[in-house]
């Protein structure tokens, strides 16, 4: 199952990083991201969505190679 879904999640992470501006236009600005990740044209919310996309990519690779920690 993970060999099917992990590449899909990886591609979704790449797309999230690529289309950050469009996602922000659909969802709106995130106030705490603007405050803590910096304001301005390409910071704050845009940085948050890029970090989320990067996190999805990392988690999908870890899941694909079965490197995520298992529950106790």
More confident residue, 38 or 18: 18
Answer left, alpha or beta for residue 38, where phi above 0 means left and psi between -120 and 50 means alpha: left
Q: What is the pLDDT of residues 47-70, one digit of tens each?
A: 999 999 999 999 999 999 999 987
Residue 46: pLDDT above 80?
Answer: yes
* Whether 60 contacts 7, CB under 8 Å: yes
Quote the pTM value. Answer: 0.87
Provide, rounded to the nearest whole percent, the portion of the chain with pLDDT above 90: 72
The pLDDT, as a whole number, for residue 53 is 98
Contacts of 44 (CB under 8 A, 6+ apart): 29, 30, 33, 34, 35, 37, 38
Q: What is the mean pLDDT of the chain?
A: 91
Q: Check residue 71 and give its pLDDT.
A: 61
């Amino acid at each position: 199952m993970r060999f099917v879904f992990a590449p899909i999640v990886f591609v979704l992470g790449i797309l999230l990083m690529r289309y950050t501006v469009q996602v922000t236009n659909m969802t709106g600005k995130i106030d705490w991201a603007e405050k803590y990740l910096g304001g301005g044209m390409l910071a704050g919310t845009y940085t948050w969505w890029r970090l989320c996309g990067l996190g999805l990519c990392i988690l999908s690779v870890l899941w694909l190679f079965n490197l995520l920690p298992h529950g106790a």
